[in-house]
């Protein structure tokens, strides 16, 4: 299973020069916990940062400044981990666990933003695989008594 199959699209974006309050308002309106910050100098959107609720709160604390006086650039996390859309789910899990992040922008082979993948997207993918495995075990357990019953009827009297 590839990242492209499980990542969320559309992905909501902002730019580094935006007022932080505007980005925060966008997050609230969209009901998302993160925006991908994209480079405006390029015609194609390329991720340069990520902005989360945590960044907004902690950015204000460390900068001793109010939300309304800051820009996205002041508090965003730079150089985010990006995942290639055709990477396997297991590669993605390895990469996010090494970086210790819960979400990562997804890019195509030329680095253009195409989506975002979160822990919440990865978990159902794994749970589904696990469910399939449990299904095999369950089917075999059900088949066993039938096979035994079949064997006993064929036994000569």
Partner 1 sequence: MKVGDLCRRDVVSVSADAPLSAAAQLMCEQQVGAVIVTAAPADGPIAVGVLTDRDIVRAQLEGTAALSEIRVADVMSREPLVLTEDEQLDEAVRRMRVRGVRRAPVVGAGGALTGIISFDDVLAHICANLAALACLTGRQSRRQDDLTTYQI
Rounded least distance, CB 138 to partner 1, Å: 15
Residue 61 contacts partner 1 per CB under 8 A: yes
CB 99 within 8 A of CB 117: no
- Least Cα distance to 125 among 16, 42, 3, 34 occurs for 3
Residue 42 contacts partner 1 per CB under 8 A: no
Residue 53 contacts partner 1 per CB under 8 A: yes
d(CA 105, CA 44): 14
d(CA 38, CA 46): 5
Residue whose structure tokens are 């902005």: 51
Residue 24 contacts partner 1 per CB under 8 A: yes
Query: Contacting partner 1 (CB under 8 A), which of 9, 130, 134, 144?
Result: 130
The residue range among 1-9, 35-43, 54-62, 91-99 that interacts with partner 1, by the rule CB under 8 A, is: 54-62
Residue 134 contacts partner 1 per CB under 8 A: no
**16 CB neighbour count, 10 Å cutoff:** 18
d(CA 115, CA 87): 13
Residue 139 contacts partner 1 per CB under 8 A: no
Residue 58 contacts partner 1 per CB under 8 A: yes
Give, as one character, the DSSP assignment of residue 76: P
Instruction: Report the interface residues with partner 1, using CB under 8 A.
Output: 21, 24-25, 27-28, 33, 53-54, 56-58, 60-62, 66-68, 123, 130
């Amino acid at each position: 299973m590839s990242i492209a199959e499980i990542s969320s699209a559309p992905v909501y974006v902002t730019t580094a020069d935006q007022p932080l309050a505007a980005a925060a308002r966008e997050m609230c309106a969209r009901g998302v916990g993160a925006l991908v910050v994209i480079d405006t100098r390029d015609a194609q959107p390329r991720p340069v940062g990520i902005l989360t609720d945590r960044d907004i709160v902690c950015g204000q604390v460390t900068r001793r400044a109010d939300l309304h006086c800051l820009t996205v650039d002041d508090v965003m996390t730079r150089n985010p981990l990006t995942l290639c859309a055709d990477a396997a789910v297991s590669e993605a899990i390895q990469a996010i666990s090494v970086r210790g992040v819960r979400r990562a922008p997804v890019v195509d082979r030329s680095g253009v933003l195409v989506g975002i993948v979160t822990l919440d997207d990865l978990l159902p993918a794994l749970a589904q695989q696990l469910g399939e495995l449990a299904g095999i075990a369950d089917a075999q357990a059900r088949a066993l008594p039938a096979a035994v019953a079949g064997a006993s009827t064929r036994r000569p009297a």
